[in-house]
């Protein structure tokens, strides 16, 4: 990893403490400005409360005023909702948290002319025992590696992804399509937001990476799979970041890896 990388290593739970989620949940997270952008408009959080773990990423829209403010505001709102949450109905909670973030960003942009039209993506994941609840808007992605196979658990909300789902372009064309970064849904663009909800059962040894498009768009899914096969998730994270930096890292990149082990 580059010496200038902004890395925040995290371990859940701290060594020597009892963990209520299986045997252990290991986590590493990082964010990096990349090699082209002047500012980092990504934000993330990793939080734990009782039997629950929260992982969230937001990526402010590049070129929109207030992108970094929007992403930080979204993450702060999701964290605040998590702190207030009573632990019941994690599926309802993650959707409510994203909607709360949407209203916070939208209302702020409407009341501050200098921040008009600020927007962000947002993906929030709650892990409880043997299951996940995922709320998602935008083009951050949650990957899972299980038994040596990688799968993407979220759907991109971009023009290219929509065209691909309608079979109007091919999988080969999608990564180079001019609409690959043009979002069809974002947090803060409207007071009414449609949030994707994904439910996932976990298995022992599952590895997950929640990543902004600045990381996954520069990697082949096989690169992500191979990195997550490493027993040391810190090395997994460093390997992926190193590949993105070698490719030029044109965008901010943020990733959270967590493993049920």
Shortest CA distance to 144 belongs to which of 259, 28, 13? 259
What whole-number distance in Å separates Cα of residue 69 and Cα of residue 243? 28
What whole-number distance in Å separates Cα of residue 181 and Cα of residue 45? 23
> What separation in angstroms does the CA of 46 have from each of 81, 240, 256?
13, 19, 8
| 68's tokens | 């970094």
Strands 131-137 and 122-128, how do they pair? antiparallel
What whole-number distance in Å separates Cα of residue 138 and Cα of residue 157? 5
pLDDT along the chain (261 residues), means of 10: 36 35 74 93 95 96 86 98 96 98 97 93 94 97 95 87 60 59 89 96 94 94 94 94 95 95 71
Shortest CA distance to 94 belongs to which of 77, 71, 107, 73? 77
Handedness of CA 72, 195, 127, 158 (dihedral sign): negative
Specify the pLDDT at position 50.
87
CB 15: neighbour CB atoms within 10 A? Answer: 5
In sequence order, what E strands does the chain have?
7-8, 25-32, 42-49, 52-59, 122-128, 131-137, 141-146, 149-152, 196-201, 207-211, 253-260
Alpha helices in the chain (DSSP H): 67-84, 90-111, 159-165, 213-216, 221-228, 233-246
- For residue 19, the Cα-to-chain-centroid distance in whole angstroms is 24
What whole-number distance in Å separates Cα of residue 255 and Cα of residue 168? 31
Torsion angle, alpha carbons of 58, 64, 68, 73, to 10: -70
Specify the pLDDT at position 158.
79
- For residue 75, the Cα-to-chain-centroid distance in whole angstroms is 11
Question: What's the pTM?
Answer: 0.88
What whole-number distance in Å separates Cα of residue 98 and Cα of residue 92? 10
- Tell me which residue has tokens 């929030």: 124
Name all domains of the chain by residue range, CATH numbers in brackets: 7-260 (3.60.40.10)
């Amino acid at each position: 990893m580059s010496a200038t990388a902004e890395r925040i290593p995290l371990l859940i739970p701290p060594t020597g403490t009892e963990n209520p989620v299986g045997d252990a949940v290991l986590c590493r997270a990082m964010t990096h400005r990349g090699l082209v952008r002047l500012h980092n408009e990504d934000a993330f959080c990793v939080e734990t409360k009782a039997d629950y773990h929260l992982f969230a990423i937001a990526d402010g829209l590049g070129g929109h005023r207030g992108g970094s403010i929007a992403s930080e505001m979204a993450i702060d709102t999701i964290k605040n909702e998590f702190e207030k949450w009573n632990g019941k109905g994690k599926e309802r909670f993650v959707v409510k948290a994203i909607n709360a973030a949407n209203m916070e960003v939208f209302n702020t942009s409407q009341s501050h002319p200098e921040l008009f039209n600020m927007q962000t993506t947002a993906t929030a994941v709650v892990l409880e025992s043997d299951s996940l609840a995922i709320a998602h808007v935008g083009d951050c992605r949650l990957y899972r590696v299980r038994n040596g196979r990688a799968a993407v658990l979220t759907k991109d909300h971009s023009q290219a992804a929509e065209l691909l789902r309608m079979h109007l372009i091919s999988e080969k064309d999608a990564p180079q399509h001019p609409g690959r970064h043009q979002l069809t849904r974002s947090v803060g663009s409207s007071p009414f937001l449609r949030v994707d909800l994904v439910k996932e059962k976990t298995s022992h040894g599952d590895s997950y990476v929640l990543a902004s498009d600045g990381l996954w768009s520069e990697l082949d899914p096989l690169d992500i799979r191979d990195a997550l096969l490493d027993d040391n998730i810190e090395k997994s994270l460093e390997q992926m970041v190193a590949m993105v930096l070698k490719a030029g890292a044109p965008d901010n990149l943020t990733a959270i890896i967590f493993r049920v082990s």
